[in-house]
């Protein structure tokens, strides 16, 4: 895939190198030549010094034939404009925008393009690890955190019970993603009998996780 990475700071250089290692044809654009020193010595993609809003620079970067572009500078305004031009003018199939300042995020989202907000995601992830209910540790968050995947260890009190009893359907329920037992992962069903120490990966909402924690902490009626 022919990819243009606009911005060669920490994020841009790391992204460009990862793409290069995967065999993609990568071109990195940055107005400061010294920025390319962030790239590892064995990077063999193209580097172009210049302003990404300059049409000639974009053409030299190969935007007419580009299959993807990532605007990852530390300027939200620049990222927004470059991404919009790539998508609306040059019809690049895949365009991703980096959001640097969370206050600019609504503007980026209005572009209708995928947005990666490291500050928002990082704060959300830290908050989850600090404040998530004891029922489970967060593994993955979707959207703005409305739904997540959590890791839950089955307590002794739930030995032999069905997974369906732990994960009933409903708005505050949860969906089983995987079960790990003795180091082996499997796709569980509602009839799967739980064993103490099983590690479950469950998809649910924050409210559902709270309900799950209450359910795990309650004595099980025989």
What's the confidence (pLDDT) of residue 134? 52
Closest alpha carbon to 63 in 5, 118, 114, 24: 5
Same domain, 37 and 94: yes
Question: Per-residue DSSP letters for 105-174?
Answer: HHHHHHTTS-EEEHHHHHHHHHHHHHH--TT-EEEEEETTTTEEEEEEEPPGGGTT-BHHHHS-SSTT-E
What's the confidence (pLDDT) of residue 12? 95
pTM, whole model, 2 decimals?
A: 0.64
The CA distance from 66 to 117, in Å, is 24
CATH of the domain at 105: 3.40.50.720
- Residue-range definition of the domain harbouring residue 61: 2-121
CA distances from residue 162 to 27, 157, 189, 200, 214 in whole angstroms, order as listed: 53, 12, 9, 13, 17
Residue at 59 is within a domain: yes
Residue at 40 is within a domain: yes
What's the confidence (pLDDT) of residue 221? 43
What's the confidence (pLDDT) of residue 217? 77
Same domain, 74 and 11: yes
Closest alpha carbon to 89 in 126, 48, 51, 55: 55
What's the confidence (pLDDT) of residue 210? 83
Residue at 127 is within a domain: no
What's the confidence (pLDDT) of residue 135? 61
Strand order in the sheet with 184-186: 137-142, 147-153, 199-204, 174-181, 184-186
Mean pLDDT, consecutive 10-residue segments, the chain of 222 residues?
96 96 97 97 97 96 97 93 95 92 78 79 64 66 80 90 86 86 92 92 87 73 40
């Amino acid at each position: 895939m022919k990819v243009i990475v606009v911005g060669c700071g920490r994020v841009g250089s790391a992204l460009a190198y990862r793409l290069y290692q995967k065999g993609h044809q990568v071109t990195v654009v940055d107005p400061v030549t010294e920025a390319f020193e962030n790239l590892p010595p064995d990077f063999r993609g193209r580097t172009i010094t210049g302003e990404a809003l300059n049409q000639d620079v974009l053409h030299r970067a190969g935007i007419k034939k580009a299959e993807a572009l990532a605007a990852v500078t530390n300027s939200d305004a620049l990222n927004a404009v470059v991404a919009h031009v790539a998508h609306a003018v040059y019809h690049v199939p895949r365009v991703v925008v980096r959001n640097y300042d969370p206050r600019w995020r609504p503007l980026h989202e209005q572009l209708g393009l995928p947005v990666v907000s490291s500050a928002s995601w990082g704060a959300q992830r830290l908050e989850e690890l600090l404040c998530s209910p004891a029922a489970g540790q967060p593994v993955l968050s979707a959207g703005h955190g409305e739904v997540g995947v959590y890791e839950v260890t089955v307590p002794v009190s739930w030995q032999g019970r069905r997974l369906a009893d732990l994960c009933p359907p409903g708005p505050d329920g949860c969906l089983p993603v995987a079960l790990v037992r003795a180091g082996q992962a499997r796709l569980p069903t509602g009839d799967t009998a739980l064993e103490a120490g099983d590690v479950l990966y469950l998809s649910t909402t924050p409210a559902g996780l709270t309900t799950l924690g209450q359910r795990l902490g309650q004595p099980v009626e025989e």
